[in-house]
């Protein structure tokens, strides 16, 4: 069945387009009304500013005062009188404070300063003397000292019980200094166990007082080192 209405005469065909155009026109008119400004003409008063041409300034007339020049100095006297000085001047004699070379030699006292020097046992001229080595030849005193040290160690040696129970053994290196009065000082030990080090230090502390070593006829400090072996059989 054919429709009764003609599609070319349909009014709702472009209704959405017309609606959008009308909405844009309404928004534009509303925006212009909101942005429109009015001004009250009565608030503006135009006044004229009269400026007089007064560019000429009056410059005061000043007068320069002329000061007179200073008077010239008085002329120098042309006659010079020579006055003789009849007083005798005593000359003072200045004594020289410099000393002669002979006086310097007489006044200087030679002060010998003792220097605390350590000379190793291997190169010292006169080795320290262990008690009992005084009558030995000088060439054999070094050997006598070492033999006496070994005898002293073997005589006073005592193996620590704690080290024996724990099975600790080894070698302890001992270093000490024979001072200028023959006493034993500066004992240092290094070994595998503290108990062994204490025993080695105890043995060295029991060394007797010795005759100190000498270098060029003067007593000096002599460092000496020796190993002590601890072995379990």
Checking if the pLDDT of 55 tops 60, the result is: no
Model pLDDT, residue 211: 93
Q: How many domains does the chain have?
A: 1
Entry pTM? 0.50
CATH number of the domain encompassing residue 164: 3.30.1150
Residue 110 lies in a domain: no
Model pLDDT, residue 227: 95
In this predicted model, which residue has the larger pLDDT, 99 or 207?
207
Residue 82 lies in a domain: no
Stretch among 55-64, 100-109, 152-161, 177-186 having the lowest mean pLDDT: 100-109
Torsion of CA 131, 135, 140, 142, to 10 degrees: 20
Q: Which residues have C-beta within 8 Å of that of residue 149, sequence separation ≥ 6? A: 130, 207, 226
Tokens of 9: 């005469």
Model pLDDT, residue 147: 94
In this predicted model, which residue has the larger pLDDT, 88 or 2?
88
Segment 85-103 shows an average pLDDT of: 61
Residue 202 lies in a domain: yes
Is-contact 190 172, C-beta < 8 A?
yes
Structural domain range at position 166: 138-230
Residue 117 lies in a domain: no
Strands (E), 110-195: 170-178, 184-190
Checking if the pLDDT of 161 tops 80, the result is: yes
Checking if the pLDDT of 68 tops 60, the result is: yes
Measured from the Cβ of residue 204, the count of other Cβ atoms closer than 10 Å reads 21
Let me know how long the chain is.
233
Residue 152 lies in a domain: yes
Residue 205 lies in a domain: yes
Confidence of residue 105 (pLDDT cuts 50, 70, 90): very low
Residue 151 lies in a domain: yes
Residue 173 lies in a domain: yes
Segment 90-102 shows an average pLDDT of: 63
Confidence of residue 46 (pLDDT cuts 50, 70, 90): very low
């Amino acid at each position: 069945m054919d429709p009764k209405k003609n599609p070319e005469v349909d009014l709702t065909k472009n209704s959405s387009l017309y609606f959008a155009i009308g909405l844009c026109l309404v928004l534009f008119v509303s925006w212009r009304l909101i942005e429109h400004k009015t001004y009250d003409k009565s608030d503006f008063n135009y006044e004229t500013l009269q400026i007089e041409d007064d560019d000429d300034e009056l410059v005061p007339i000043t007068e320069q005062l002329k000061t007179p020049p200073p008077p010239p100095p008085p002329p120098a006297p042309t006659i010079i009188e020579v006055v003789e000085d009849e007083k005798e001047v005593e000359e003072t004699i200045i004594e020289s404070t410099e000393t002669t070379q002979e006086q310097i030699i007489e006044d200087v006292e030679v002060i010998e300063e003792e220097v605390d020097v350590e000379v190793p046992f291997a190169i010292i001229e006169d080795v320290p003397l262990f008690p009992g080595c005084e009558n030995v030849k000088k060439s054999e005193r070094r050997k006598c000292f070492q033999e006496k040290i070994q005898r002293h160690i073997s005589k006073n040696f005592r193996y620590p019980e704690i080290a024996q129970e724990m099975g600790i053994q080894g070698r302890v290196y001992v270093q000490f200094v024979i001072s200028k009065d023959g006493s034993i000082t500066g004992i240092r030990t290094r070994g595998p166990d503290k108990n062994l080090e204490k025993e080695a230090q105890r043995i060295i502390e029991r060394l007797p007082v010795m005759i100190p070593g000498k270098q060029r006829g003067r007593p000096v400090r002599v460092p000496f080192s020796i190993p002590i072996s601890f072995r379990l059989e």
